[in-house]
């Protein structure tokens, strides 16, 4: 409401202009988001002192930052429609922006498979490579399908395997069944461990006849993503989180910079399916069971993906 005091001058000016229509001035409050700042002066400080990677850093609440992060324009429109306009000074929960992005990306983003913390699985009864057909979007068949190589050596998430687990664990367990996304049901039969007793490889077998169908007497505990060892591509993953540790960093005691989060950017590596090597910036993908990502527009030829938003709100857990 910083221009409300100018209303008298504005009305006088309009009154003395020889125009047919006399527009009315409406004031509304600044859109403040939690865990960031929207003041240009404070944003300039973050850029000038190198706390972020420029005005288009994906952690910045700027149009350039949101674009590089992969936020669809439709998500911003949806977010603004949901929060409305008010004259009250307040802070909008950043989860509302996150949820608007999820709602739009769920419809827009093709699915791809990636493994963030890989462990090798050797399938002992797979004798030859084959191509499996996987839909690009499970609810939109019109988006087509893609062919993925299936071989006897694959990567799965390390967290998707346990030697022992209770019935609530819906992934791969020694002696139990689970389904590979778009492929076969597999059963873990053995493990290989290093000298410290850490599992470094899972030995498993496919259930014949289970490609894209169920088999009588075999019940899979769940569905997990995978990539084939011989075709998987290495990628760098930028996981962007809240820039600050408090909801209103400008309103806290002391320097705003004291509240910058140490984990606002976490860089990881992943094994991804080869189709993603041809991806373009600003094109969103859902890495199945992980999050939404887009290729970084500033990474050049390097295969770098920025996390747009998680699949569900887990902040604070």
pLDDT for res 47: 97
pLDDT tens-digit readout, 164-204: 999 999 999 999 999 999 999 999 999 999 999 999 999 99
Residues 211 and 67 in one domain: no
Cα–Cα distance measured from residue 22 to residue 19, given in angstroms and rounded to the nearest whole number? 7
Residues 208 and 303 in one domain: no
Residues 127 and 166 in one domain: yes
pLDDT for res 27: 79
CATH code assigned at 154: 2.40.240.10
Domain of residue 53: give its range. Answer: 1-111+232-317
Residues 107 and 120 in one domain: no
Out of 225, 253, 279, pick the residue that ends a domain.
225
Percent of the chain with pLDDT over 90: 84
Q: What's the structural domain count of the chain?
A: 2
Would you say residue 13 has pLDDT above 90?
A: no
Would you say residue 136 has pLDDT above 60?
A: yes
Q: Which residue has the higher pLDDT, 236 or 32?
A: 236
Residues 7 and 77 in one domain: yes
pLDDT tens-digit readout, 81-114: 999 888 877 889 999 999 999 999 999 999 999 9
52: which DSSP letter?
Answer: S
Residues 120 and 209 in one domain: yes
30: which DSSP letter?
Answer: -
Task: Report pTM.
Answer: 0.90
């Amino acid at each position: 409401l910083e221009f409300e005091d100018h209303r008298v001058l504005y009305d006088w000016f309009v009154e003395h202009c020889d125009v047919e229509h006399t527009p009315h001035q409406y004031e509304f409050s600044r859109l403040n988001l939690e865990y960031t700042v929207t003041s240009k002066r404070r944003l300039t400080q973050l850029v000038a002192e190198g706390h972020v990677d420029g005005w288009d850093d994906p952690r910045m609440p700027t149009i350039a930052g949101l674009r590089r992060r992969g936020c669809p324009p439709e998500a911003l429109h949806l977010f603004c429609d949901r929060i409305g306009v008010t004259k009250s000074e307040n802070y909008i929960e950043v989860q509302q922006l996150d949820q608007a992005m999820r709602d739009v990306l769920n419809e827009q983003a093709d699915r791809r498979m990636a493994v963030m913390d890989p462990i090798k699985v050797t399938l002992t009864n797979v004798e030859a490579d084959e191509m499996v057909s996987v839909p690009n979007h499970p609810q939109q068949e019109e988006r087509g399908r893609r062919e993925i190589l299936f071989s006897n050596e694959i990567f799965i998430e390390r967290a998707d395997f346990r030697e022992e687990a209770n019935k609530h664990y819906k992934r791969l367990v020694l002696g139990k069944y689970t389904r590979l996304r778009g492929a076969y049901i597999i059963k873990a039969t053995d493990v290989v461990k290093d000298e410290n007793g850490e599992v470094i490889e899972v030995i498993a077998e496919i259930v014949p006849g289970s490609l894209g169908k169920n088999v009588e007497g075999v019940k899979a505990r769940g569905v997990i993503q995978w990539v084939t060892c011989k075709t998987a591509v290495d990628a760098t993953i930028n996981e962007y989180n809240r820039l600050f540790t408090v909801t209103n960093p400008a309103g806290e005691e002391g320097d705003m910079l004291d509240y910058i989060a140490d984990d606002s950017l976490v860089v990881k590596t992943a094994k991804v399916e080869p189709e993603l090597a041809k991806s373009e910036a600003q094109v969103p993908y859902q890495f199945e069971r992980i999050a939404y990502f887009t290729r970084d527009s500033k990474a050049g030829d390097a295969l770098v993906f920025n996390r747009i938003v998680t699949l569900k709100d887990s902040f604070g857990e």
